[in-house]
Amino acid sequence: MEIHRLIFKNFLRTFTGYFVKIKFKIDNSPSKCSTQCNILVLVLLVISLSVAEGNKPPKFVTDGQTEIILRLKEGSETPVGTLIYQLRGYDEDGDYLKFGVSRFPGSDIIRIDNTSPSEANIYLNKELDRETQDEYSLVLTLTDGHLGYGHYVTQGLLLLVEDVNDNVPVFKSYQPTITVAEDFKPGTITTLEATDADEGAYGQVVYYLQNIDGEKELFAVNTVGERAVLRLVGSLDYEKQTVHQLKILAVDRAKEGRVNTATAALLIKVEDVEDQPPEFVRITPFTKIEENSPIGTSVLMVVAVDGDRGVNNPIEYSLLSNSLNSVNDVFSVERDTGVVFTTSVIDREALPGGAGTYILQITAKEIGSKIVPTPTATTEVTVMVTDVNDETPTFKSNYYECEIAENAQINTPVTFLGNALPEVYDYDQGINGSFFLFIKGGGDAFDVTPSKAVNEATFMIRVKNSTTLDFERIKRINLTLVAKEIVKNKPKYSEASVMVNLLDRNDNFPEFSKSLYEVSVPENCDVGTTVAWVQALDDDSGKFGTRGIRYTNLAGSIDYMLNLHPTSGVITVKIAGGPNWDREQISRHFLTVEARDDLGYGNRNSVQLVINIEDINDNAPMFVQSKYEARLFENKLDFEQPLKVEARDADLNGTKNSEIEYELLGDLAENFTIDSTGLISLKCPMDFESLQNSFSSSVYSVFLTVRARDWGTPSLFSDVPLLIYVEDVNDNTPVFENSFYNKSVAENSPSGTSLLQVGKIIANLSANDPDSTAALVFKIDDSACQAINERRVLVKTQEYDCSGAFHLEPRTGVLSIAKTLDREIVEQFQLGLTVEDINSETGQQVAHAKIVIDILDVNDNSPKFRNSFYKFSIAENSKHGTAIGSVTADDIDKNKTITYSLEGAIELTSLVHLNQDDGNIVVKATDSGYPPRSTRVEVFSQILDENDNNPSFLPEPSALIIPEDIHVGTEIARVKAVDADSGEYGKITYLLDRLSSQGKFTLDGDTGILKVSDKLDREDKPNFLLIIEGWDNYQYGFNSGESRNAFKHINITIEDVNDNVPVLHVPPYCINITEFHEPGQPVTTIHASDADDPETSNGQVIIDIADGNQDNLFELQPINEWSVDIRTTTSLRGRHGNYTLIMRAQDLGIPSLLVEDTLRICVADYNDHPPIFISPPPNSTLKVPENATVGSALIQILASDEDVGQNGAVRYRLKTDPAGHWKFFELQPISGILELRLPLDRKKQKIYDV
């Protein structure tokens, strides 16, 4: 520290000040950057102050500030004259105050103007320049005029100058031209460095390579520290470009406002190396040669040179082997000259496919090259063999055989037989391969199509006149096919023979041998019986004639019952019986028989068939009723009503077929008789009990059959059922099936369960009255009932109603359970049973029986725990085998063996992991019954939690895409982590890594909500990889190390929006070309760029001409997506002058952004017009007197030139001549005035030819 003491003394006031200079040295390892700053501290020590007695000094009003600090931007940001501060003072005496500034170095930077008795304004007096001085320490003065001369009240003012971006980067000296070999490997070429006098981001420089003609594909510039490193990233090619002009931009890092740029131009010269194959400079890609040309005919010539311009090795030519059309058998090439010639005679038609084309692959190889393998180049040329007329039209066969129907219509084609192809060919080209087709012979029956063809054709022979075709008149026709060339000079032709066979067609109808067929058939005919035989004839032959007749249809009322043989015409019975064969119903049938030739598909005819049905004895007698019934009482000899049956026969009366007799059939038919009238009588009374009655009914049904038979041959009969009801008389006593019953029933059988039917009546033939009409009533004998428990002790009636436990159905005798049984109370029942026939006619009829019912135990009582619940405590990570507690259950069923099991979360029951929510489990007690019963009791386990689980993030979100113009504060995602622990151990706090977010995002620690916290710029940073931490027990355990954590990465991609205007790089100078600039040749190249994403429409740019191209002299030719060539569309001859084009670059974003710039093109005149003399006319004669004075003007020569500028300026001179006449005259070069240079003497020379 250096302290400099300054002592100021005035008349009334003395103060001492110290300037303190402090030097700070900051060591920032490892770079050990040293920073030094000087702080000037003005310490004012007031020694003494003498004031006028009674006057109070004024004071500055500074709102409690010990020093006034102002921050001003340098340069034009704070212009001279700017009001920078307002001073206020206070004086208790109310005196007029005057403000000022002490005259220290730099105090003239401000100017103070008093504006009122207690206020003043401070104005900037000189322009600020931070690079010259970045701060000013000033002392303001204040007086009320009564302090004495030179005595003031002071106030410190610190004026800090803030930097603005007002300095352009400046490149340090560098080598502008660099030579690089074209095989230079990608890597560093050179480095450059630029400096910027500004501070902070304004003084930091980054480097870019300006993309000119796609140079960014070859070169790249990286900012390394403070230097620009130029690297080769592609491959140089001397043959494509020998010089690369690069522009390296040095741009400061200003994020807002002005951005300063400097440009360094580098010329990269590419040094050639031998790396290029030969190049063909003369190629005839297509040529023609006439077929049959002699061997050695020259076809074409190729010329190649060394691709390396500075090496120029000699070239040797060869023809590559090619299987296509065997070019090596036909052509060869001179190894030194590149001349291709024929080595054999070419036949164009013999070439595969008749294409007539050869593709020659010619190789040029360098001789003496140092490259291994030797550089070669190959080119292809096409040789077309032109045609000569050397082929004759030829049919694929000399003989054709075909056929056609005799009734074919006009234009119907014939059908060719065999393997002969109806084709003709002539493989000459053009007119040489064109030919006519026509027919000789065969009358006018056929013609051929096509009539004209080229090279080849598939022909058809068609019917021309169908009336000449008649199979009965002629069976075949012979023709001659002719193919003849169209050429008029000695046309070639060939012929082929054709035989056309006519096919017969069906033109006659079948005719039946009779006009009507009538037959008779018995009504009892069997299936297969022949009914009739029809026959038809046809005059046609083959299948169209009689041999091809098929009987195809039989139609009529019984057609479905008959079968018509298709070839013989025999009609037989297919379905016999039924009403259609019953003469009594239908005696005659009418049908139609159809016959068709052509095997049943040709012409048809029909004939009528009448079938008469012959009568036979086919009707059986029929009863007038479908059944007969009668009632008969037991022990009676007569029916309640007389019983008589009647049958009738449909056959003729008075014949044996209609005469009827009756008989009875059945098991009891011997007890009855029937006479010829159908009257039925009993032989003896019926005994009901002797009948085999299997039904508990008072009526027994006797089933008989009555048969009526006629006397016809054969005899026919019919049956009718006869039902006789025999009624019983009640005279038998009921009996039990058994006197003792024993049943077992489960105690859980529901009420209404049937145990057994005790009143079943059995047949007892020895019984006096086994009546089926008995009405039996069953009862439980209460006096004979007992209940016994499992200890074999009688249960008192007061304790349990024995008889009330069961119900006995009085009518059916079904014994069922009346109420719920409980084996634990009664294990066995002994019941007395009675049955009584209430319809007895002989007095009371009662029978007795006993039943013992054993109640089977069922497992209907679940085990019962001695406590309603249990509660235990256990540590979360207790060791295996640690005792928790014990539970006990009891069971009153016989199956008293109890097993215990655990139910609940698998983590608990498997003793692998405890439920961390409540730790509760259930103990299950199961008895040994079937099915087993169980009881559950809850065991509340208080599990003491430990923080033994790490948080775990859910997988989503893992990647986000957000637009770069998203609003600050927008929620973009919500992360969530889970922790299996509970309480604070399971509560998760979320933290966001600041380095990964770079202040652009915030994360809520409790909710996990991720928001945007600062404005995003995709062009500055297109993506972020956020690191998110999740901590449990953060509040209490983070500092003590008892927290657990997990990490999650979220990849955020910033989606581009169209927020950058395209940049158009247009040359600032006029592009000079001449009026002879070739149409379509480039004038200059325009480049555009856009900072937006080039993969989207926002960063894709379209360059066009917005204005100035009214005559359409220029057009744009795209080079790549960023550059276009401006080319001329037409000749500029005579269009010299300056053209101004408004170029526009517009991106494809929405909304679209564009920029326009001016391109100037200067078309210079070319001296392409010779001067033309205007006067005097050619061969003029000028008369001059011989005494004309030397120097006198004789005539003015005038000439004009259509060119402009210097090209159009005409200069005159005299052309020398052998006679020396020009020496006598002088021609002014600019004015064209011809003057006399020497005296004239007519006697010596009369005429001068100039």
> What integer is the mean pLDDT of 173-202?
90
Q: Bigger pLDDT: 311 or 788?
A: 788
User: pLDDT tens-digit profile of 295-306?
Assistant: 999 989 999 988
> What integer is the mean pLDDT of 1172-1186?
85
Per the structure block, which two tokens stand in for 1133?
Answer: 């001859």
Those residues with Cβ within 8 angstroms of residue 796's Cβ, 6 or more apart along the chain or in another chain = none
In 3D space, the residue among 278, 299, 292, 253 whose CA is nearest the CA of residue 369 turns out to be 278
Question: What is d(CA 1057, CA 1013) in angstroms, rounded to the nearest whole number?
Answer: 19
Question: What is d(CA 167, CA 202) in angstroms, rounded to the nearest whole number?
Answer: 8
**Predicted local distance difference test score (pLDDT) of residue 791:** 82
Residue 1183 backbone zone (phi > 0: left; psi -120 to 50: alpha; other: beta): beta
Question: What is d(CA 608, CA 360) in angstroms, rounded to the nearest whole number?
Answer: 87
pLDDT at 418 over 80: yes
Neighbours of 586 (CB within 10 A): 15
Q: Residue type at 1025?
A: L
**Predicted local distance difference test score (pLDDT) of residue 193:** 94
- Indicate the SS3 state at residue 433: helix
Residue 364's pLDDT band (cuts 50, 70, 90): very high
Burial class (CB in 10 A: 0-12, 13-18, 19+), 37: exposed
pLDDT at 20 over 50: no
Burial class (CB in 10 A: 0-12, 13-18, 19+), 1108: middle
> What integer is the mean pLDDT of 695-704?
79
**Predicted local distance difference test score (pLDDT) of residue 755:** 58
Q: Bigger pLDDT: 1043 or 499?
A: 499
User: pLDDT tens-digit profile of 1091-1119?
Assistant: 888 888 998 999 999 999 998 999 999 98
User: pLDDT tens-digit profile of 431-462?
Assistant: 888 999 999 988 889 999 999 999 899 999 99
Residue 401's pLDDT band (cuts 50, 70, 90): very high
**Do the Cβ atoms of 164 and 147 come closer than 8 Å?**
no
pLDDT at 915 over 70: no
E-assigned strand segments in 24-95: 38-49, 59-60, 67-73, 83-90
Question: What is d(CA 956, CA 970) in angstroms, rounded to the nearest whole number?
Answer: 19
The rounded mean pLDDT for the chain is 83
User: pLDDT tens-digit profile of 737-763?
Assistant: 777 878 888 777 776 556 555 443 322
Tell me which H or E stretch contains 4: strand 2-9
Neighbours of 711 (CB within 10 A): 15
pLDDT at 893 over 90: no
CA distances from 193 to 166, 223, 248 (A): 19, 10, 11
**Predicted local distance difference test score (pLDDT) of residue 52:** 42
> What integer is the mean pLDDT of 1184-1189?
84
**Predicted local distance difference test score (pLDDT) of residue 322:** 65
Tell me which H or E stretch contains 485: strand 476-485
Q: Residues, the chain, total? A: 1250
User: pLDDT tens-digit profile of 800-821?
Assistant: 888 788 888 888 778 888 888 8
Per the structure block, which two tokens stand in for 150?
Answer: 């030179």
Q: Which stretch of 132-141, 406-415, 720-729, 918-927 has the lowest confidence by average pLDDT? A: 918-927
Residue 770's pLDDT band (cuts 50, 70, 90): low
pLDDT at 131 over 90: no
Burial class (CB in 10 A: 0-12, 13-18, 19+), 579: exposed
Measured at the CA of 461, the angle between CA 456 and CA 464, to 5 degrees, comes to 135
User: pLDDT tens-digit profile of 1207-1246?
Assistant: 788 888 888 887 888 888 898 888 889 888 888 888 888 8
**Do the Cβ atoms of 565 and 572 come closer than 8 Å?**
yes
In 3D space, the residue among 587, 590, 592 whose CA is nearest the CA of residue 612 turns out to be 587
**Predicted local distance difference test score (pLDDT) of residue 849:** 83
User: pLDDT tens-digit profile of 547-572?
Assistant: 999 999 999 989 999 999 999 999 99
Question: What is d(CA 553, CA 234) in angstroms, rounded to the nearest whole number?
Answer: 94
* Structural domains of the chain in order of their starting residue, each with its CATH number: 1-50 (no CATH), 57-163 (2.60.40.60), 170-271 (2.60.40.60), 279-386 (2.60.40.60), 394-503 (2.60.40.60), 511-614 (2.60.40.60), 622-727 (2.60.40.60), 740-856 (2.60.40.60), 864-944 (2.60.40.60), 952-1048 (2.60.40.60), 1063-1164 (2.60.40.60), 1172-1236 (2.60.40.60)
pTM: 0.32
User: pLDDT tens-digit profile of 377-390?
Assistant: 999 998 888 888 88
DSSP class of residue 1179 equals T
pLDDT at 697 over 90: no
Neighbours of 593 (CB within 10 A): 25
**Predicted local distance difference test score (pLDDT) of residue 40:** 33
Question: What is d(CA 815, CA 809) in angstroms, rounded to the nearest whole number?
Answer: 6
The maximal CA–CA distance of the chain, rounded, in angstroms, is 208
> What integer is the mean pLDDT of 960-984?
91
**Predicted local distance difference test score (pLDDT) of residue 778:** 83
Beta bridge partners of 394: 425
User: pLDDT tens-digit profile of 141-174?
Assistant: 999 988 888 788 888 888 989 888 888 999 999 9
**Do the Cβ atoms of 157 and 114 come closer than 8 Å?**
no
Residue 1086's pLDDT band (cuts 50, 70, 90): very high
**Predicted local distance difference test score (pLDDT) of residue 920:** 56
**Predicted local distance difference test score (pLDDT) of residue 353:** 62
Per mean pLDDT, which of 939-953, 1005-1019, 1034-1048 is the most reliable? 1005-1019
